[in-house]
């Protein structure tokens, strides 16, 4: 029977294919292929599903003590939006900054910084993990996002929240989005204070999102507008965030 | 102790079962991809710290130049793409490992071939094996692996690989929220990242040692046997 040499050949051929795949795996063309991305990207979906299936879906991220604070909180992304409009706000200590809630709300409205500060606050000392690998621990104070959503009356049809920011990277407006599970998580806050002072410009003044169970790029800085939407496909590049659109980063950044 | 029939069957059995061979090659691909994409990910921040936090302004215990692109997947700097490769093949590796452990426990491969008996734990026995290895004598009598092999395989399977998996999970902010004990076991996220890096090179050393031993013990035959299965009795010849 000739089955043995045949299967041997088949095995050798398939190992050669694997080796070839490895080599081409290093190439740009191979990595930019939609099929390859789809297959590899399935792991991201698996991570998302497993993380959400494990334990309590409202599980808190670890909170630390004052003694654990990073000496300096490293910024990620934009360090200063430096647009004319932003500079004017900065010169005015962000007194006229406002946060617009738009889209699928019963009562779309605008919150002034004073109104946000007057609402019940949450303070948390948490670890910020950048996708690059570094971590920084900071003390954040802000209004729980849930309170803003309740005040504006989030509609049943809303599935995601889109955070529109004041900073631009290579001329494109920064934005991010989260689902409602993260939106209503107790540690998800719109923070205006870092380590007992107003959030510095490099860390997202005057208002930034904290979504503690995800990586740094999800924590939108310089937030001007929160839009409730049913789907992310019509928003900017359609992938739910600036880095997702331009850099192929995962929308779910829990890992 | 072996009956004649049992011996006969032993002779006919391949040296490596099909499941072992399949796992070996899937693993080989997964481990190489995990290693090379991991280096690409490391390049995004080539500094390591101990404790919970650590960034550019904090003291690093190790700061390296970035790894050259011929060593990384993809072969150019892309954190997003490297993460995609890394996480996909982490699943391939983890699922393969689970199946392997399950089957190996079931067919007693672990108990029979990897388990190190008290007799083998004697220093004299280990020293004897080291001397034999130094003379490039790789025979192992009746059992499938000699004691050094067993120590190597057992520490990879039950120490290094679990360390890799759990330090990897610790770096995920969502997993660290789900399983906060991960942070306590490893002493913080940045410690976990450092251990992940150190164990990478321990596994790399195992990989190099593995290849070296194959080269020294008849590479053509070893490679052939890991593809076709080979025969048990051909081993001692």
Could you give the percent of chain A with pLDDT greater than 70? 89
Could you give the percent of chain B with pLDDT greater than 90? 62
Q: Chain B contacts of A55, Cβ < 8 Å?
A: 178-179
Using CA coordinates, name the residue in chain A closest to B36. A26
Does B179 sit within 8 Å of A55, measured CB to CB? yes
Answer whether residue B156 is part of any domain.
Answer: yes
pLDDT at residue B237 is higher than 50: no
Shared-domain flag, residues B188 and B157: yes
Structural domain spans, chain A: 3-51, 63-247
Q: Is A182 on the interface with B (CB under 8 A)?
A: no
pLDDT tens-digit series, residues A54-87: 867 889 999 999 999 999 999 989 999 999 999 9
Q: What is the pLDDT at residue A21?
A: 59
Q: Is A119 helix (H, G, I), strand (E, B) or coil?
A: coil
For residues A164 and A76, which has the higher predicted lDDT (pLDDT)?
Answer: A164
Q: Determine how many CB atoms are found less than 10 A away from the CB of residue A200.
A: 15
What is the distance in angstroms between the Cα of A201 and the nearest Cα belonging to chain B? 18
Q: Chain B contacts of A249, Cβ < 8 Å?
A: 79-80, 83
Of A33-47, A91-105, A163-177, B8-22, least confident by mean pLDDT is B8-22
pLDDT tens-digit series, residues A28-56: 778 778 888 889 989 988 999 999 888 67
pLDDT tens-digit series, residues B19-58: 888 899 999 999 999 999 999 999 999 999 999 999 999 9
H or E element, residue A191: strand A189-194
Q: Chain A contacts of B228, Cβ < 8 Å?
A: 4, 7-8, 11
Answer whether residue B98 is part of any domain.
Answer: no
Does A64 sit within 8 Å of B173, measured CB to CB? no
Q: What is the pLDDT at residue B236?
A: 42
Q: Is A74 on the interface with B (CB under 8 A)?
A: yes
Q: What is the pLDDT at residue B2?
A: 44
Q: Where in the sequence is the domain holding B29, given as residue range(s)?
A: 15-47+70-86
Does B57 sit within 8 Å of A72, measured CB to CB? yes
Of B49-53, B124-128, B141-145, least confident by mean pLDDT is B141-145
Answer whether residue B37 is part of any domain.
Answer: yes
Most B-contacting residue of A134, A195, A203, A239 (CB-CB within 10 A), to test interface? A134
What is the distance in angstroms between the Cα of A84 and the nearest Cα belonging to chain B? 30
For residues A122 and B105, which has the higher predicted lDDT (pLDDT)?
Answer: A122
Q: Is A137 on the interface with B (CB under 8 A)?
A: yes
Q: Chain A contacts of B32, Cβ < 8 Å?
A: 22
ipTM for the complex shown:
0.89
Does B32 sit within 8 Å of A22, measured CB to CB? yes
Q: Chain B contacts of A136, Cβ < 8 Å?
A: 53, 55
Shared-domain flag, residues B76 and B157: no
Burial of B48 from C-beta contacts in 10 A (0-12 / 13-18 / 19+): buried
Q: Is B3 on the interface with A (CB under 8 A)?
A: no
Of A182-191, B53-62, B82-91, B150-159, least confident by mean pLDDT is B150-159
Q: Is A247 on the interface with B (CB under 8 A)?
A: yes
Using CA coordinates, name the residue in chain B closest to A4. B228
Q: Chain A contacts of B41, Cβ < 8 Å?
A: 133
Closest CA to B79 of B106, B117, B39: B39
Query: Is 3.30.460.10 the CATH number for A63-247?
Result: no
Residue A16's pLDDT band, with cuts at 50, 70 and 90, is: low
Q: Chain B contacts of A254, Cβ < 8 Å?
A: 172-175
B7-42: b (≥16 Cβ within 10 Å) or e? eeeeeeeebbeeebbebebbbebbbbbbbbbbbbbb
Answer whether residue B3 is part of any domain.
Answer: no
pLDDT (mean) for B160-181: 97
Q: What is the pLDDT at residue A122?
A: 98
Q: Is B57 on the interface with A (CB under 8 A)?
A: yes
Domain count, chain B: 2
Cα separation, B51 vs A26, in Å, equals: 34
Burial of A29 from C-beta contacts in 10 A (0-12 / 13-18 / 19+): exposed
Q: What is the pLDDT at residue A136?
A: 98
DSSP letter string over chain B?
Answer: ---HHHHHHHHHS-SS-HHHHHHHHHHHHHHHHHHHHHHHHHHTS-EE-SSS-B-TTSPPSEE-PPPPGGGSSSSS--HHHHHHHHHHHHHHHHHHHHHHHHHHHHTTHIIIIIPPPTTTTSHHHHHHHHHHHHTT----TTSSS-HHHHHHHHHIIIIIHHHHHHHHHHTSHHHHHH-THHHHHHTSHHHHHHHHHHHHHHHHHHHHHHHHHHHHT-HHHHHHHHHH---GGGTT-
Shared-domain flag, residues B114 and B220: yes
Q: What is the pLDDT at residue A23?
A: 58
Does B227 sit within 8 Å of A15, measured CB to CB? yes
pLDDT tens-digit series, residues A196-253: 999 999 999 999 999 999 999 999 999 999 999 999 999 999 999 999 999 999 999 9
Q: Is A255 on the interface with B (CB under 8 A)?
A: yes
pLDDT tens-digit series, residues B203-212: 999 999 999 9
Q: Is B171 on the interface with A (CB under 8 A)?
A: yes
Shared-domain flag, residues B185 and B123: yes
Answer whether residue B103 is part of any domain.
Answer: no
pLDDT (mean) for B164-177: 97
Taking all residues of chain A, what is their mean pLDDT, rounded to a whole number? 91
Residue A6's pLDDT band, with cuts at 50, 70 and 90, is: very low
pLDDT at residue B141 is higher than 70: no
């Amino acid at each position: 029977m000739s089955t043995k040499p045949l299967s041997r050949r088949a095995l050798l051929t398939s190992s050669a294919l694997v080796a070839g795949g490895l080599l081409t795996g290093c190439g740009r063309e191979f990595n930019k292929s939609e099929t390859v991305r789809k297959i590899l990207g399935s792991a991201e979906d698996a991570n998302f599903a497993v993380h959400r299936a494990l334990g309590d879906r409202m599980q808190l991220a670890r909170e630390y003590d004052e003694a654990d604070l990073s000496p300096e909180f490293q910024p990620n992304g934009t360090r200063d939006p430096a647009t004319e409009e932003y500079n004017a706000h900065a010169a005015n200590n962000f007194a006229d900054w406002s946060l617009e809630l738009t889209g699928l709300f019963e009562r779309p409205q605008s919150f002034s910084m004073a109104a946000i500060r007057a609402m019940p606050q949450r303070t948390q000392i948490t670890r910020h993990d950048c996708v690059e690998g570094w971590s920084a621990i900071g003390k954040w104070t802000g209004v729980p996002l849930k309170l803003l959503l309740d005040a504006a009356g989030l509609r049943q049809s809303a599935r995601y929240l889109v955070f529109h920011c004041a900073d631009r990277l290579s001329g494109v407006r920064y934005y991010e989005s989260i689902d409602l599970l993260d939106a209503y998580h107790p540690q998800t806050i719109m923070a205006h204070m870092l380590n007992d002072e107003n959030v510095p410009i490099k860390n997202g003044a005057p208002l930034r999102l904290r979504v503690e169970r995800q990586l740094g790029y999800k924590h939108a800085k310089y937030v001007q507008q929160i839009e409730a939407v049913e789907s992310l496909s019509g928003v900017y590049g359609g992938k739910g965030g600036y880095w997702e659109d331009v850099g192929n980063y995962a929308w779910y950044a829990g890992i | 102790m072996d009956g004649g029939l049992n011996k006969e069957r032993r002779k006919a059995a391949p040296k490596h079962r099909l499941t072992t061979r399949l796992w070996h090659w899937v693993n080989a691909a997964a481990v190489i991809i995990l290693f090379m994409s991991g280096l690409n990910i490391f390049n995004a921040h080539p500094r390591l710290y101990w404790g919970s936090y650590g960034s550019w302004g904090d003291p690093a215990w190790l700061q390296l130049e970035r790894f050259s692109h011929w060593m990384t997947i993809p072969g150019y700097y892309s954190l997003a793409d490297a993460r995609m490769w890394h996480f996909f093949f982490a699943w391939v590796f983890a699922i393969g490992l689970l199946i392997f452990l399950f089957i190996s426990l079931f067919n007693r491969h672990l108990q029979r071939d990897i388990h190190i008996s008290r007799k083998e734990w004697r220093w004299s026995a280990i020293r004897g094996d080291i001397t034999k290895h130094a003379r490039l004598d790789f025979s192992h009598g009746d059992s499938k692996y000699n004691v050094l092999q067993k120590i190597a395989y057992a520490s990879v399977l039950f120490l290094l690989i679990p360390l890799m998996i759990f330090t990897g999970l610790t770096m995920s902010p969502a997993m660290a929220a789900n399983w906060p004990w991960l942070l306590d076991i490893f002493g913080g996220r940045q410690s976990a990242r450092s251990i992940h890096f150190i164990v990478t090179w321990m596994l790399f050393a195992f990989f190099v040692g593995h290849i070296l031993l194959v080269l020294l013990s008849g590479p053509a035959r070893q490679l052939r046997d890991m593809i076709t299965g080979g025969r048990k009795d051909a081993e001692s010849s």
